[in-house]
Amino acid sequence: MFEISQAEDGTILMRGRLDAAQVERAKGVFALVQSSCEVDFNELAYISSAGLGLLFATQKRLVDAGEALRLVNLNPHIREVFQIAGFDRVFEIS
Amino acid sequence: MSTEKSFAKSLGSLDGVFDFLQQFVDKEAIAERHAFAMNLVVEELFTNMVKYSGGTDKQVVIRLDKGDQRVTLELTDFDSEPFDPESVSAVDVEAPIEERRPGGLGLHLVKTLVDDLRYEMDDRTLTVSVTKSLES
């Protein structure tokens, strides 16, 4: 199960498991992001390199425009994956 | 205990792959953080088989084996293009975002999360076997 939505304040909420079979559903939402916003991982249980790749591509596009994603509420397993990937240097994580 | 199951070489198989892993994790009472890593490792290896040697109706067999404080995960693709893991460029995780390139992350995650990683190519059969300690 994977769900993604964007709140009125721009915060992107992800729920469930972002795996390679689900990443296409997330692409549509991230493609529309044009300015800095928060991505709330509170209800995201799992992510693999497919989701990391999407976040990275979005961040790269935003940083080139002087904007950025901020990631919040990562569970400890996902936080470790971000550290292994070196993404704690690519994203502001809190 | 050892168990194995065949899956169609398609991303649509992933839910079934995760269910298969969860049954094994529950039966063997494997800790959640190891289970998370097992999910990630199997997904990355399976999706690589789908992406780089897909297009056939051959199945991928996943075999799981629990030993003394370790688990072995083995994926066999019976119709694979030759694959040399050494040909995959290392990911520079220290590089700033401007210099980072997408790609290669999946194998980097696998290499970091497991204790042993072996590839064996026999004709068109590719077997990838990883061992992960459950001690720490």
Task: Give how far Cα B42 sits from Cα of A25, B47, B104, B123, Å.
Answer: 21, 8, 15, 23
Weakly modelled stretches of chain A, pLDDT under 70 = none
CA distance B135 to B64: 17
Q: With an 8 Å Cβ cutoff, is B44 touching chain A?
A: yes
pLDDT of residue B89: 75
- Which of B15, B39, B112 lies closest to A84 in CB terms? B112
Chain B: give the shortest CA distance to residue A25, in Å.
14
Question: Which pLDDT tens digit goes with each residue over A51-63?
Answer: 999 999 999 999 9
- The predicted pLDDT at position A62 comes to 97
Q: Is A30 helix (H, G, I), strand (E, B) or coil?
A: helix
Distance from C-alpha of A94 to C-alpha of A84, rounded to nearest angstrom? 17
> pLDDT over 70 for what percent of chain B?
97
Contacts of A89 in chain B (CB under 8 A): 93-94, 96-97
Q: Note the pLDDT tens digit of each residue in B53-97.
A: 756 778 999 999 999 999 999 999 999 988 877 777 788 888 888
Summary mean pLDDT of chain A: 96
Q: Which residues in chain B are contacts of A52 at CB distance < 8 A? A: 105
Chain B environment of A58 (Cβ under 8 Å): none
* pLDDT reading at B110 higher than 90: yes
The closest alpha carbon to B65, from B93, B18, B99, B27, belongs to B27
Which residues of chain A lie closer than 8 angstroms to B43, CB-CB? 19-20, 48
ipTM value for the complex? 0.95
- We report the CATH number of the domain holding residue B74 as 3.30.565.10
Q: Which of A84, A82, A85, A86 is nearest to A94 (CA)?
A: A82
What does the pLDDT read at residue B33?
Answer: 94
Q: Where are the domains of chain A?
A: 2-93
Tell me the whole-structure pTM to 2 decimals: 0.95
* Chain A CB within 8 Å of residue B36 CB: yes
Cβ of residue B1 closer than 8 Å to a chain A Cβ = no
Rounded Cα distance between B118 and B136, Å, is: 22
Q: How far apart are CA B32 and CA A77, in angstroms?
A: 9
CA closest to B107 among chain A residues: A49
Q: Does A65 touch chain B if contact means CB atoms closer than 8 Å?
A: no
User: In terms of residue numbers, what domain contains B18?
Assistant: 2-133
Confirm if B130 and B45 have CB atoms less than 8 A apart.
yes
CATH 1.10.260.40 is the classification of domain A2-93: no
